Structure 1
Amino acid sequence: MFQKFTTVLIIGAALATAACNTVRGAARDVNSVANCTENAINGGQC
């Protein structure tokens, strides 16, 4: 029983870590697009 619980706990932690990295990557992409758009509006380049 303890081994199954430990396995589920480790898999859950791995999935949570992967999801967190995905959200961070998406946030960087959105931030990059926002910066590019702001630069283009102000006459600059991306």
Structure 2
Amino acid sequence: MRILSMLLITCLFLSSCETIKGVGRDVEDAGEAIDDSIDDE
């Protein structure tokens, strides 16, 4: 179930990026979100 969820999230993430620049922004935003969640702990 966990693998299926991660696959679905990955597909949605990739389909939402229209350009390489968009992918870069999405990766940067994801990195910032992870960084923020680590800082909160």
Q: TM-score range by the shorter chain?
A: 0.5 to 0.7
Aligned to 1:14: 23
CA apart distance, 1:12? 0.2
Aligned to 1:29: 38
Structure 2 residues without counterparts, runs of 5 or longer: 1-17
Q: In the comparison of the two structures, how many residue pairs are matched? A: 24
Structure 1 residues without counterparts, runs of 5 or longer: 1-8, 33-46
Runs of 4+ in 1 over 6 A off after TM superposition: none
Structure number with larger C-alpha Rg: 1
The one-letter amino acid of 1:18's match is V
Q: Could you tell me how far apart the structure 1 residues matched to 2:37 and 2:23 are?
A: 21
CA RMSD across the alignment: 1.2
The one-letter amino acid of 2:35's match is A
